[in-house]
Amino acid sequence: MIQREQVPKGSEQAKQAEKVVKPPEQQAVKPGGAAVPSLSEILERAEKAYAAYMDAQKEVGKAYRQSELEAEKSYKDSEQRAKNSRDASIRQALGARDDAIERAVQTRDAAIERAVKARDAAIAKAEQAHKRAIGQAEQAYKDSELQAKDACDESTKQALRNYEQAISQAWSRRGETTQQAWSIYAKEAKETKETG
């Protein structure tokens, strides 16, 4: 069913429909004062009304078609905007991913560089500590060697002193013993001479 509101206002068909509805000025008048239209006028008005109705129906069809085209265009525009928004979001996500990967690469490279520097520094410190330990071991060896030589020299000197004292004491005892022996021998020889 076609509603009257759907007929575009100001259209030619609407104007004709309004004219058809209006009673014509020249109508037959009954004796009681009411005008009665003739059959041909009624048919003519009916034909005009039907023609206006058909034109209005065509206009409504055009309006529906135009509305459908506009809805389709609106849908396509919305679809295009949605695609553009989707593509922009995907580009943004890809860009954010690439940025995150780049930052991760930079962070990894910086961490590796710091680790390598720390390793090199640790190796350098270890080498320095190794050299110091070797130097200290060498110095301790030299000190121990020197102390051992000094101790050996002191022991040798002490042994020589002890040897000399022992020899000297032994020589003194030998001299004393020899002297005692000669004294005893001389005494006995004297006694034997006297008794003999």
In this prediction, residue 12 carries a pLDDT of: 54
Percent of the chain with pLDDT over 90: 52
Asked if residue 24 belongs to a domain, the reply is yes
Q: Among 179, 181, 186, which residue's Cα sits nearest to residue 194? A: 186
Asked if residue 76 belongs to a domain, the reply is yes
Strand partners, 36: 28
In this prediction, residue 62 carries a pLDDT of: 94
Asked if residue 178 belongs to a domain, the reply is no
Q: How far apart are CA 54 and CA 58, in angstroms?
A: 6
Q: How many domains does the chain have?
A: 1
> Per-residue pLDDT averaged across 73-86, rounded?
94
Among 18-22, 41-45, 164-168, the range scoring the smallest mean pLDDT is: 18-22
Written as one string, the DSSP assignment of 54-78 is HHHHHHHHHHHHHHHHHHHHHHHHH
Q: Looking at mean pLDDT, say which of 6-20, 100-114, 171-185 comes out highest.
A: 100-114
Whether this prediction's pTM lies above 0.75 is answered by: no
Asked if residue 51 belongs to a domain, the reply is yes
Q: How far apart are CA 35 and CA 41, in angstroms?
A: 12
Give the largest CA-CA distance in the chain: 232
Domain interval for residue 77: 4-95
In this prediction, residue 56 carries a pLDDT of: 94
